[in-house]
Amino acid sequence: MMIDQPKARVLLLESIHPDAVSRLEEDGFEVESVSSALDEAELIERVSGVHLLGIRSKTKVTAKVLEAADSLVAIGAFCIGTDQIDLATASASGVAVFNAPFSNTRSVVELAIAEIIAMTRRLTEKNSLMHAGVWDKSADGAHEIRGRRLGIVGYGNIGTQLSVLAENLGMSVSFYDTADKLALSNAHRCASLDELLEISDIVTLHVDGRPGNAGFFGADQFARMRQGSLFLNLSRGIVVDHLALRDALRSGHLAGAAVDVFPQEPKGRGDEFLSELRGLPNVILTPHIGGSTEEAQSDIGGFVANKLAKFLTEGNTTLSVNLPGVVLPEQPGLHRIVHVHLNTPGVLAQVNRILAEHNVNVEGQLLSTRGEYGYLITDIGKGYSDSVLEQLRAMEQTVRLRVLS
């Protein structure tokens, strides 16, 4: 598929930062920005003719959406997670997916630290009493975080940075991760989730939203936590049973909780928020703002928009979530063919045979594979017949072929 670059259409949803709009407009793209998320039916209506789609965490890009996306080349998740995107279908369609795995890490970590301190000092309750006109000067139930043990479930980018900052504040840190992760500083790796729950004063979740994680933290896990401990979830709403959390808080088994993500969230700003956790004392509820600082959103906007633009114009797949990472320096005066294909032996030889049979000289070429798919960039001279592209598209391994000017 050849794209007229200045007329490439971009659809950005969920109030993506203006820096993303500016970056994409720099390349002459036609950008439409929408403030809210779209449900499946709405997105199916809007996605036809769109080359680049930008979303955050609320919009689901399903197989039906991808089927309706007749021009879609790439999807940008302007956040960390990509579980809201059907990655298997995107790959099978040759649609690249990019995210921002590092840009809002600091923002999430700082929110977690702030909430740990607020709950440990019971600031939420003191604040509510003061606003109600009650002067309750007392140390009862208020503690320092120094010397307390933080248990981190999920030791990825956020978990590791939180681990370091917590230790700098005088906390002891334990962590549990299903993957083999290197402990930073003096952090203690737990052999099981149960071990972490039994020794931690504060438990914080930093796991992804893959379907297998749905409901994995429930009544059994809360029961194993220490009496009077604190709980945080700034990861994905589906991983926690909120009814079980409410019961653990009401019974007094947990002394407090901070929750930023929910199984069902309102579509837009100002919509009513419904939750079993509303009204509970020493519970901090925030509207999915873990990464919502101006600094993080600006960084994410520029980072993901740049990845989308580079993929569309140059075929660059560095840090793509679902396609092999390939970067081939541009050479002036050439055409660039990008070829997504099934990862089977002989694809490169077959491509080069077709080019050689038509006397097309290869000026630059780079191939990489990942799992089921391969990604090939080939730079050639501008003098070639349409039958070259027809034969490349007709290869049984071809998933998608694009020609870049």
d(CA 92, CA 96): 10
d(CA 250, CA 10): 47
Burial 316-329 (b: 16+ CB within 10 A, else e): bbeebbbbbebebe
Instruction: State the catalytic residue, choosing from 167, 195, 265, 330.
Output: 265
Strands 52-55 and 30-33: unpaired
d(CA 153, CA 107): 18
d(CA 113, CA 102): 18
CA distance to 39, 97, 252, per residue, from 90 (Å): 18, 8, 46
Instruction: State the catalytic residue, choosing from 9, 148, 236, 400.
Output: 236
- At 225 the three-state DSSP class reads coil
Catalytic (active site) residue 265? yes
Contact 238, 215 (CB under 8 A): yes
Instruction: State the catalytic residue, choosing from 288, 335, 339, 341.
Output: 288
- Positions annotated as catalytic residues are 236, 265, 288
